[in-house]
C-alpha cells in the first residue's frame, strides 16, 4: 500500500522533499495534499508538483482523512503548532529539524504522541542519519573497527547571512539550530545517544542577536571527548570524524548530506539516487532515504524511529539549549 503524504508549508525544503518523494514508486509513496497559510501559494505548489488537493490552512490538511503522514516544513517557530495539530488528528508526522525551538517544545510534542496506538509515529527529520554513508559508519562502529572510541569532531560553516531568516532572532535563526544540529547529531550518533557529563562553549553573536559562530566542547562518560564548531558567516571544512584506539573514520564534505566515508584510509562512495528535477539544496535527492524510513517504521508498526529515537531528539534539544544559555542567546 502506498503511504499517503500531506505537505505542510510550501517553502524550498518542502519543494525538495516533494520532488524526492515523487521519484519513489507510486505504489509506495504518494503526495495527496499540500497546505499553506495562503491558499494561492498552496495551489501554485500543487500545480507545480501535480498534487490533487491544496488547502489554505494547516488545520484542513490535518483533518483530511486521506492523509496518513504529514511532512512539516514550516519555519522553526511554527513546528510545534503544526506537529501538535497533525498528531491530534491521528497523523504520523515527519518534522523538519530542529523539531522544536527549545527543549520544552520538543518534550510537549513527544508527550502528545505518547497516548496514541502502535501505528502513530513522530520522527525528527534529521535526514543525515538515513544516508547510506551514515548507515555504513554505524556498521563500522558496531563492528568495533575503530577500537575503543576516544574523540569525535564536526565542523559546519557556510555564509548564510544572505538569508533573512538565518539571522532573524524572532524566527529562531542562528548557526546552532540551522546547522550546528548536524554536528551535535553526528557526535550523539557515534557515542550512542549518551548524555554529555560536561558542556563548555564559546560564541560570537551576530548584530541581530543570533549566534554567529560557536565552538562547543563536550565530555562524555568513560572519558570520551567531542567538539564542534558551526558558523553562519564563515565557510568551514564541513566534515566530521570519529577516532578510536584502532583508527579513524571520516565523513567527507558535505557532512550533513554525506556520500563519502573514509575508514582507516579506505575510501568508499555512496552515489545518490537519480532525480529528474533540480533541488534547491545540496544533495536534495537524499531526502528519499528518510521518506523510505518513515514508511518502514509505519509498516512495521513501530512507535518511533530506531535511528533517531524521541529520547535522543529531546537530548539534542537539551544540549543546544544549554549551549545557547552559555553564550547568551535567548529567543523571544
Tens of pLDDT, residue by residue, the chain (332 residues):
899 999 999 999 999 999 999 999 999 999 999 999 999 999 999 999 999 999 999 999 999 999 999 999 999 999 999 999 999 999 999 999 999 999 999 999 999 876 555 457 899 999 999 999 999 999 999 999 999 999 999 999 999 999 999 999 999 999 999 999 999 999 999 999 999 999 999 999 999 999 999 999 999 999 999 999 999 999 999 999 999 999 999 999 999 999 999 999 999 999 999 998 899 999 999 999 999 999 999 999 888 899 999 999 999 999 999 999 999 999 98
Do residues 195 and 208 both lie within one domain? yes
Query: Given 127, 161, 180, which residue is the final one in a domain?
Result: 127
Q: Give the angle subtended at the CA of 275 by the CAs of 271 and 277, to the nearest 5°.
A: 140
Do residues 42 and 56 both lie within one domain? yes
Do residues 100 and 141 both lie within one domain? no
169, part of any domain: yes
Residue with cell 509505519: 298
Counting every residue written for the chain, the total comes to 332
Q: What is the mean pLDDT of the chain?
A: 96
Do residues 118 and 9 both lie within one domain? yes
111, part of any domain: yes
330, part of any domain: no
319, part of any domain: no
317, part of any domain: no
Do residues 122 and 136 both lie within one domain? no
147, part of any domain: yes
Do residues 101 and 171 both lie within one domain? no
CB atoms within 10 A of CB 222: 11
User: Residue 28 belongs to a domain with what CATH number?
Assistant: 3.40.50.720
Do residues 60 and 182 both lie within one domain? no
pLDDT digits 0-9 by tens, 168-220 = 999 999 999 999 999 999 999 999 999 999 999 999 999 999 999 999 999 99
pLDDT digits 0-9 by tens, 38-67 = 999 999 999 999 999 999 999 999 999 999
User: Residue 242 belongs to a domain with what CATH number?
Assistant: 3.30.360.10
Do residues 85 and 205 both lie within one domain? no
Do residues 120 and 163 both lie within one domain? no
Positive or negative, the CA dihedral 138, 143, 147, 149 is positive
Say what the pTM is. Answer: 0.96
Do residues 123 and 240 both lie within one domain? no
Do residues 8 and 91 both lie within one domain? yes
- Please give the tally of structural domains in the chain: 2
289, part of any domain: no
Residue span of the structural domain in which 10 resides: 3-127
Q: Which segments of the chain are extended strands (E)?
A: 3-8, 29-35, 53-55, 69-72, 92-96, 122-125, 149-157, 198-205, 211-220, 224-231, 240-244, 247-251, 260-263, 266-269
Do residues 173 and 101 both lie within one domain? no
Residue with cell 494561492: 40
Query: Given 83, 106, 127, which residue is the final one in a domain?
Result: 127
305, part of any domain: no
Query: Given 81, 98, 127, which residue is the final one in a domain?
Result: 127
Amino acid at each position: 500500500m502506498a503511504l499517503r503524504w500531506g505537505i505542510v508549508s510550501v517553502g524550498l525544503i518542502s519543494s525538495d522533499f516533494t520532488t524526492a518523494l515523487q521519484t519513489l514508486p507510486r505504489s509506495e509513496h504518494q503526495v495527496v495534499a499540500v497546505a499553506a497559510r495562503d491558499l494561492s501559494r498552496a495551489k501554485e505548489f500543487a500545480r507545480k508538483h501535480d498534487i490533487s488537493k491544496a488547502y489554505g490552512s494547516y488545520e484542513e490538511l490535518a483533518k483530511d482523512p486521506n492523509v496518513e503522514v504529514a511532512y512539516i516544513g514550516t519555519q522553526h517557530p511554527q513546528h510545534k503548532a503544526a506537529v501538535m495539530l497533525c498528531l491530534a488528528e491521528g497523523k504520523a508526522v515527519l518534522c523538519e529539524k530542529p523539531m522544536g525551538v527549545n527543549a520544552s517544545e520538543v518534550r510537549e510534542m513527544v508527550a502528545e504522541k505518547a497516548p496514541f496506538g502502535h501505528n502513530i509515529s513522530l520522527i525528527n527529520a534529521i535526514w543525515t542519519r538515513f544516508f547510506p554513508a551514515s548507515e555504513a559508519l554505524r556498521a563500522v562502529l558496531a563492528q568495533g573497527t575503530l577500537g575503543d572510541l576516544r574523540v569525535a569532531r564536526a565542523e559546519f560553516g557556510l555564509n548564510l547571512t544572505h538569508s533573512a531568516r538565518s539571522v532573524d532572532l524572532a524566527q529562531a535563526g542562528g548557526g546552532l539550530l540551522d546547522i550546528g544540529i548536524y554536528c551535535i547529531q553526528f557526535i550523539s550518533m557515534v557515542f550512542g545517544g549518551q548524555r554529555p557529563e560536561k558542556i563548555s562553549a564559546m560564541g560570537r553573536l551576530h548584530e541581530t542577536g543570533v549566534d554567529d559562530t560557536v565552538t562547543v566542547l563536550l565530555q562524555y562518560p568513560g572519558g570520551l571527548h567531542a567538539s564542534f564548531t558551526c558558523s553562519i558567516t564563515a565557510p568551514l571544512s564541513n566534515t566530521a570524524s570519529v577516532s578510536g584506539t584502532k583508527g579513524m573514520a571520516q565523513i567527507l564534505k558535505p557532512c550533513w548530506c554525506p556520500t563519502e566515508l573514509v575508514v582507516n584510509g579506505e575510501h568508499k562512495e555512496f552515489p545518490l539516487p537519480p532525480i529528474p528535477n533540480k533541488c534547491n539544496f545540496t544533495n536534495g535527492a537524499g531526502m528519499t532515504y528518510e521518506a523510505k524510513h518513515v514508511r518502514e517504521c509505519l509498516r512495521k508498526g513501530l512507535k518511533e524511529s530506531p535511528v533517531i529515537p524521541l529520547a535522543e531528539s529531546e537530548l539534542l534539544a537539551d544540549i543546544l539549549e544549554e549551549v545557547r544559555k552559555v553564550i547568551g542567546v535567548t529567543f523571544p
